[in-house]
Amino acid sequence: MGTRKATAFLDAGARVRVVDPRASDELRSRPTPLLELIERAFTESDVDRGELIVAATDDSTVNARVAEACRRRKRLCNRADDPADGSFETLAVHRSGPLTIGVSAGGVPAAAGQIRDEIGRRFDSRYGDAIASLIRLRGSMRGGDDWPRAADAVLASDFCDAVESGAITQRVSQWD
């Protein structure tokens, strides 16, 4: 789980420090200046330099120590095995191009993941492509008065139906 969370932050462009005596091969082989890999056991001072801390080990005692150190030092902490013991929860995220959808399920990550996967089946690349075309259209209309009218027409109440049927392409092209 720690590798997955670290990878997600790296993919988002964050600087990530991982403290793990048994770091994964995936992290060891990841060539990026954004990753600092410290292969040793956690010490309380590890949270001093962090802005946002994730406790995602396979040892609940270590995760509890990380969360407690964060509370004492007033650091944000996500405790993966016990979200209520942390100060924030991460979302299960679905991405399709510029479309990003996050799901929280009240501290039950497995449920959030299943809901995210179901959402992802509907909001697939068709939606990513549609949003990308809307971004281009809006950008080409900046500074003018046409965008509000185009948005009303293109983003009508049947927007999702238009995306899924392919009709959105024609709607957008009418305003290009």
Tokens 């690349």, residue located: 125
Express each pLDDT in 38-48 by its tens digit. 999 999 999 99
The answer on pLDDT for 111 being more than 80 is yes
Q: Does one domain contain both 60 and 115?
A: no
Express each pLDDT in 70-109 by its tens digit. 999 999 999 999 988 999 988 999 999 999 999 999 888 8
Domain that holds residue 115: 92-122
Number of structural domains the chain divides into: 3
Q: What is the mean pLDDT of residues 8-33?
A: 93
> What phi, psi does 14 have (nearest 5°)?
-80, 155
Q: Does one domain contain both 15 and 62?
A: yes
Q: Does one domain contain both 118 and 131?
A: no
Q: Does one domain contain both 13 and 63?
A: yes
Domain boundary residue among 85, 110, 133?
85
Looking at residue 72, which CATH number applies to its domain? Answer: 3.40.50.720
> What phi, psi does 141 have (nearest 5°)?
-105, 0
Q: Does one domain contain both 71 and 99?
A: no
Burial of 154 (0-12, 13-18, 19+ CB in 10 A): buried
Q: Does one domain contain both 78 and 28?
A: yes
Average of per-residue pLDDT values in the chain: 94
DSSP class of 45: G
Express each pLDDT in 123-169 by its tens digit. 999 999 999 999 999 999 987 789 999 999 999 999 999 999 999 99
Q: Please tell me the distance from the alpha carbon of residue 88 to that of residue 78, in angstroms, as a whole number.
A: 5
Q: Does one domain contain both 17 and 74?
A: yes
Q: Does one domain contain both 11 and 80?
A: yes
Rounded to 5°, the CA angle 163-101-57 comes to 150
SS3 52: strand
